[in-house]
Chains A and B, each alone.
Chain A
Amino acid sequence: AQSVTQLGSHVSVSEGALVLLRCNYSSSVPPYLFWYVQYPNQGLQLLLKYTSAATLVKGINGFEAEFKKSETSFHLTKPSAHMSDAAEYFCAVSQYQAGTALIFGKGTTLSVSS
């Protein structure tokens, strides 16, 4: 079975500070990993994905994530937070070869203060 754990349901940072959102996964086979963002009353938007190519993945809006197999982690970072980054962030895992759908974590709410 596959699963995702997002550490910290709420993260608060100041504008311009580093953003770090943590995600650990469990998967019996090499996973595909994704980060999504959700703004209030909207659907989810794909930020970035890891599909067994480069371990450091760059996404939209200045976000990036690093796949670390030894730590079973896929943490999301952004060097400098912007007010518009305030949203809900979800990490998700898939075992495409097994034909399974994405399994999401419970999410982390990011607040950005001025």
Chain B
Amino acid sequence: DTGVSQDPRHKITKRGQNVTFRCDPISEHNRLYWYRQTLGQGPEFLTYFQNEAQLEKSRLLSDRFSAERPKGSFSTLEIQRTEQGDSAMYLCASSLAGPYGYTFGSGTRLTVV
């Protein structure tokens, strides 16, 4: 068990460009979550999957954001036409379905310039 892996660790992009992040969860975990964290704030929920199905999506999530988990294993989060306000740490977590805590990855830090 290598934990939750996120790639890349850091991404600097120009405003207007598209970016894609990858998350590899713990293999036996069927749930996968995406959160966004800005400085001085707690993680903000974006979306989550159970297997390949996207079960919940935050109403705060812009339509420029899209997430996939095509085979119920790894997941990608894409941000189109990035804006400076998208600069944040993007965290991925996984868990089993049930009252279990999540295992978080180390995050991808996005800087939009």
A49 within 8 A of B: yes
Chain B 89-113 residues near chain A, CB threshold 8 A: 91, 93, 98-107
Asked if B102 and A46 sit within 8 Å, CB to CB, the answer is: yes
A/B interface sample: 15 pairs, CB < 8 A: A34-B101, A42-B106, A43-B93, A44-B91, A44-B93, A45-B104, A49-B99, A90-B42, A90-B43, A94-B99, A99-B55, A104-B35, A104-B43, A104-B45, A106-B40
Other-chain contact of A51, B33, B56, B99 (Cβ < 8 Å): B99
Q: Which of A31-84 contact B (CB under 8 A)?
A: 32, 34, 36, 41-46, 49, 51-52
Question: B41 contacts the other chain (Cβ, under 8 Å)?
Answer: yes
In the bound complex, what is the Cα–Cα distance between A46 and B94 (angstroms)? Answer: 12
- A44 touching B45, Cβ below 8 Å: no
Please report which residues of chain A, range 76-114, place their CB below 8 angstroms from some CB of chain B when the two chains form the complex. Answer: 90, 92, 94, 96, 99-107
Give the residue name and chain of the A residue nearest to B106 (CB). Answer: A43
Please give, as numbers and ranges, the residues of chain B lying within 8 Å of A43 by CB-CB distance.
4, 91, 93, 104-107
State A44–B44 Cα separation when bound (angstroms): 13
The answer on a CB contact under 8 Å between B101 and A107 is no
- Report the Cα distance A46→B35, complex, angstroms: 16
Provide the residues of chain A in CB contact with B100, threshold 8 Å: 49
B55 touches A44 (CB 8 A): no
73-101 of chain B: CB within 8 A of chain A? 91, 93, 98-101
B56 close to A104 (CB less than 8 A): no
Would B91 and A107 count as touching, CB distance under 8 A? no
With CB as the reference atom, state the residue of chain B lying closest to A48. Answer: B101
B21 within 8 A of partner (CB): no
